[in-house]
Amino acid sequence: MLNKHYDFIVVGAGIVGAATAYKLQLKHPKKTIALLEKEAKIGMHQTGRNSGVIHSGIYYTPGSFKAKNCRNGREQLVAFAEKYRIPYETCGKIIIATNNDELNALENIFQRGLENNTPNIKYLNADEIEEKEPFIKGIKAIHVPSAGIIDYVATNLKLASLISEINPESKLITSCEYLLTQQDGLKNIVQTSKGIFTTDKVILCSGLQSDRNAAKDHAHLNLKIVGFRGDYYEFTNKKKHKINNLVYPVPDPRFPFLGVHFTKMIDGSVECGPNAVFSFAREGYSRTSFNFKDTWEALTYKGTWKLFSKFWRKGIDEYKRAFSKRLFIKELQKMMPQLEMNDVIISKSGVRAQAIDTNGDMVDDFKIIEKDGNIHVLNAPSPAATACLSIADEIVAVLLNEN
């Protein structure tokens, strides 16, 4: 594999990287593409450790990159799932206000939904909430029928396989860690753990490692990726009838996280979560995971401490819930008062790659930059999985100077 040349190399075979390789291959079927993945399998990090939701786009700032690409991406994703028989369901969700203090925020979300052309949203009263979700209690809710659930790992695998179906010379190369790119005239020399490749263009969609890989390319950054772990619980088989579809709280508008929620998964299970706590390891999926380099970089970055200083009370509350099932359940009981401790068991965890700027603000929108002809996807938080095909269109347009 040494000194193998590909026309394009995509670093990171998560769902955004795989979607980008797929869209690029569709546009240039005779060009060769290498999709590099450092893990032995794809979908091991954010793609395979999220809540599996097809987002509607109702929450996002009108006109933002997120809002535009979520709406377009959802439509493309559903069409892709239909074409390739990937398990999905447009089941809808409800966003619940449990007290009067949340009504103004609920109204703001509804107005954003109207501005974002979120299809067929409507208000529900307490009786209508109970009709849809008999175990959920609220005073008012928004019904969002276009939200759904999907198997994102199956989607990821299909996207990656299609590049070699379109062009047999294109490859997914796993257990191949990206190390460095050096320019040699018009060519890029890409060093990896599996040897050296040359290519015309490099596209880096490396999620939790995106800022580090951009720094290797001497890109000017005013942000750093900080990991936030999200823990999930799962309903026992005897109790999963308590949720029919997707049930979300009214989110705190100061945060990009949507709060702990109930999610019917595509396999029929029901998850509760996630919370959001600072992670001491970018790829650490237990409550005690620790990586010295990750922790040192995060805690010596001024933006992290500025963020902590703004929201220390919220952070402490989240951390308490991370180590206390009782407190986690108490948060869920605001929407489901009858929820009991033995209704749920500990399930998976995930780590979200959140870009934080030097002022301590969470970068809310997607962020894609170009450096010396190569592309870096620096920030792709939720709803990146939903929007992956639309984000891929944007990346390809930037790469080929079509914007």
Give me the phi and psi of 222, to 5 degrees please.
-115, 35
**Domains located in the chain, CATH noted:** 4-47+153-222+365-399 (3.50.50.60), 93-145 (no CATH), 223-243+259-357 (no CATH)
Q: What pLDDT, on the 0 to 100 scale, is given for residue 242?
A: 97
Q: What pLDDT, on the 0 to 100 scale, is given for residue 194?
A: 95
- Residue 199 pairs in a beta bridge with 6, 188
Q: What pLDDT, on the 0 to 100 scale, is given for residue 246?
A: 97
Alpha-carbon distance of 310 to 306, in angstroms, equals: 6
Q: What residues contact 269, with CB distance under 8 A and at least 6 apart?
A: 234, 235, 240
Q: What pLDDT, on the 0 to 100 scale, is given for residue 318?
A: 87
How many Cβ atoms are within 10 Å of 183's Cβ, its own excluded? 12
Q: What pLDDT, on the 0 to 100 scale, is given for residue 255?
A: 67
Closest to 12 measured CA to CA, from 47, 51, 55, 54:
47
288: its two tokens? 């005690």
Low-confidence spans in the chain with pLDDT less than 70: 1-3, 253-256, 402-403
Q: What residues contact 403, with CB distance under 8 A and at least 6 apart?
A: 397
Q: What pLDDT, on the 0 to 100 scale, is given for residue 3?
A: 65
Closest to 128 measured CA to CA, from 120, 119, 136:
136
Q: What pLDDT, on the 0 to 100 scale, is given for residue 220?
A: 84
Closest to 222 measured CA to CA, from 379, 42, 67:
379
- Residue 350 pairs in a beta bridge with 230
Report the number of secondary-structure helices (H) and strands (E) in the chain: 11, 20
CA distances from 180 to 13, 172, 189, 313, 345 (A): 17, 19, 8, 40, 42
